[in-house]
Structure 1
Amino acid sequence: MAYDEELADRIRAVVQDEPALSEKKMFGGLAFLVGGNMAVAASGQGGLMLRIDPATSDELVDDVHVHRMEMRGRAMDGWLRVDDAAVTTDEELGQWVAHGVGYARSLPPK
């Protein structure tokens, strides 16, 4: 499945003024990187893939629309899948994107 181009455009609108921003196709979607660190992506599986501070994983997962990303059957702290239903408004999208961008800014540039 290809990533949702409309969602990618909505993310782009949120992050457009972010310094050191780049876009890269990865993980079957379109990722937005800050300082070379992935912050958020329009996922090829739908919704968002989000990189966050691993210490905040428990508080952000809701088991309905927000889940830890799984790799090889293992849930990963610091990586979330956010369903489309959780980003229907620009305000909701902005809040999720802010988590990813904030964490990416905290990492050393690549």
Structure 2
Amino acid sequence: MAYSEQVADRVRAAFGERTEVREQKMFGGIAFMLAGNMCIGVLGETLMARVGPEQYGDALAQPFARPMDFTGRSMRGFVYVEPEGFAD
């Protein structure tokens, strides 16, 4: 699946001038890496966000968030956020 360049541009803008963030193609989308770990990514129009295991339950309780189950199993500490969840 391709990724939305518009959504990726919004992520880039949010990081601003931070030089330690790297982009890497991953999962058919694009991931933004910090210290070698994905912190956020874009798959289609959807965000993939690392929230950590401690915040996972709270993140899932938010509107438009759902488990990140790319492999068929939920990845604890990561959520998908639908576009409505990060609209202007």
Measured against the shorter chain, the TM-score band is: 0.7 to 0.9
Report the number of matched residues: 88
Aligned to 2:11: 11
Query: Percentage identity across aligned positions?
Result: 35
Q: String of CA shifts for 1:6-41, please: whole Å, max 9, x gaps.
A: 000000000122241110111111111112111101
Aligned to 1:96: none
Which runs of 5 or more residues in structure 1 are unaligned?
90-110
1:63, CA displacement in angstroms? 6.8
Whether the 8 Å CA contact 2:31–2:38 is kept in 1: the answer is yes
1:51, CA displacement in angstroms? 1.2
1:70, CA displacement in angstroms? 1.2
The structure richer in helix per residue is 1
Describe the shift of the 1:58–1:83 C-alpha distance in structure 2 as closer, same or farther (beyond 3 A).
Answer: same
Question: 4+ residue runs of structure 1 moved beyond 4 angstroms?
Answer: none
One-letter code aligned to 2:81 = V
Instruction: Choose between structure 1 and 2 for higher RCO, CA contacts under 8 A separated by at least 6 residues.
Output: 1
Give the alignment's Cα RMSD to 1 decimal.
Answer: 1.6
Whether the 8 Å CA contact 1:18–1:34 is kept in 2: the answer is no
Distance (Å, rounded) in 1 between the aligned partners of 2:34 and 2:58: 23
Aligned to 2:56: 57
Whether the 8 Å CA contact 1:19–1:34 is kept in 2: the answer is no
Whether the 8 Å CA contact 2:47–2:80 is kept in 1: the answer is yes
Pairing 1:70–2:57 present: no
TM-score (norm. length: structure 1): 0.72
